[in-house]
Amino acid sequence: MKVLLLQDVYNLGQAGEVKTVADGYGRNYLLPRGLAVLATPSAVKRAERIKQAAIEKRAREKADIEALAQVLSGMTLTFNVRTGEKGKLYGSITSAQIADAIAKHLGSEFDKRKVALREPIREVGTYTVPIRLSAEAAPAVTVIVQQEGTVAAAANATTPAGSTASREAAPQAEAAEPAG
């Protein structure tokens, strides 16, 4: 079955392209969701307008992502938490908590799946946490975890073990990984 894509479809194509797909995929997934229409001669004539609109939409989205990346790249989040004697947290700082703190700072919702924290933070210190906005944009925020009642300057000192508190929380997102 030949279809004209109305929107970008992951692993299939971009809006405005004519693709040949399995009948069931087209009939049961693409057509009901409004992602594509049958590639009739009149629909193919609309393809150029659909392509142009999709290009403009992707350009707007890219500009929005770049603006958000600028804001996030300089952001520092501070968490005051209860700790044990050796700087271990009673609990942990998770991706959801970091996303909530970013959302408060931005004034809008922020998806916790974009926070590339491999495992929860369980010790006092300063961490660099990458944020996956898209394949091209992965700014990092600084997360300072400090004991309740201490000042921010103490977080820049050393941990009880004597090593510096700065750590890399997770590697940068891979470019091949889709933004989700």
Q: Summarize the confidence of residues 34-55 as an average pLDDT.
A: 85
Q: What is the pLDDT of residues 102-128, one digit of tens each?
A: 889 888 888 888 888 888 888 888 988
Six token digits for residue 155 = 């977080």
CATH class of the domain at 74-168: alpha beta
Sign of the CA dihedral with 53 first, then 54, 55, and 60 last: positive
Residue 113 to residue 65: CA distance in whole angstroms: 16
> How confident is the model over 72-83, as a mean pLDDT?
87
- The residue ranking higher by pLDDT, 160 or 55, is 55
**Domain spans, the chain:** 2-62, 74-168
pLDDT at 150: 63
Helix (H) or strand (E) holding 101: helix 95-106
What was the pLDDT predicted at 137?
80
pLDDT number for residue 31? 92
Q: Which two tokens stand for residue 134?
A: 């898209």
Q: Is pTM, for the whole model, over 0.85?
A: no
Please check whether residue 89 is in contact with residue 81, taking contact to mean a CB–CB distance below 8 angstroms.
Answer: yes
Please, what is the average pLDDT of the chain? Answer: 79
* Domain 2-62 homologous superfamily, CATH: Ribosomal protein L9, N-terminal domain (3.40.5.10)
Mention every residue, 6+ apart, whose C-beta is less than 8 A from residue 42: none
Looking at residue 134, its amino acid is S
